[in-house]
């Protein structure tokens, strides 16, 4: 699936993931319904008894929580679709650009960055150059892993983070907070 945005054609590798946007809409609607159902006021016999205090910044900016959550979830879902700019022809890889990328990888290694190289998403002008980089250069600078391994690790980490978040919320609720 592809679409045109600001004059650039964007192609989605996993367009079915856009269906997850329906969950964002449903969750936002449920949250709005829950917020409207709350009565935030306390009944007083006279408004003169209530001090004229302004709410804290948390109270004043509470309305921003839902839009920020919707924006974050939408950005995550769009990232899951693996968008790419579609071009009519693939531009040749410039040797200087390839050398620059190796230099950047070496500079990152010198600064003790942990790097993961994925050969499935790399390219070189010739197959033997690609094999040389993957087998000789990149293992000295970081880890060389297959794309499916990296995606599996990221998926497990994502679901582990969700499980921790649910456990923390459950614990908080069980403590009465």
- pLDDT tens, residue by residue, 18-31: 888 888 899 888 88
The pLDDT-based confidence of 38 (bands split at 50, 70, 90) is low
- pLDDT tens, residue by residue, 105-142: 888 888 888 888 888 888 777 788 888 888 888 899 88
Instruction: Give yes or no for residue 68 having a pLDDT over 70.
Output: yes
Residues 6+ apart with CB under 8 A from 122: 130, 133, 134
Tell me which long-range contacts 145-149 makes (C-beta under 8 A, separation of at least 24). 145/116, 145/117, 145/118, 146/118, 146/119, 146/120, 147/118, 147/120, 147/121
pTM (global) more than 0.85: no
Residues 87-109 have a mean pLDDT of 65
């Amino acid at each position: 699936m592809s679409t045109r945005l600001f004059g650039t054609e964007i192609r989605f590798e996993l367009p079915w993931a856009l269906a997850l946007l329906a969950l964002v809409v449903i969750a936002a609607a449920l949250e709005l319904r829950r917020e409207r159902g709350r009565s935030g006021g306390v009944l007083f016999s006279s408004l003169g008894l209530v001090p004229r205090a302004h709410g804290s910044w948390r109270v004043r900016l509470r309305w921003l929580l839902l839009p920020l959550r919707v924006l974050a979830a939408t950005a995550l879902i769009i990232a899951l679709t693996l968008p790419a700019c579609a071009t009519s022809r693939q531009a040749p890889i410039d040797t200087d650009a390839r050398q620059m990328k190796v230099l950047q990888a070496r500079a990152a290694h010198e600064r003790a960055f942990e790097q993961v190289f994925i050969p499935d998403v790399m390219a070189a002008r010739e197959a033997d150059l690609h094999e040389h980089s993957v087998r000789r250069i990149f293992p000295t600078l970081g880890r060389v892993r297959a794309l499916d391994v990296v995606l599996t690790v990221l998926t497990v980490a994502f679901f582990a983070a969700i499980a921790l978040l649910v456990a923390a919320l459950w614990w908080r609720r069980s403590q009465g907070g």
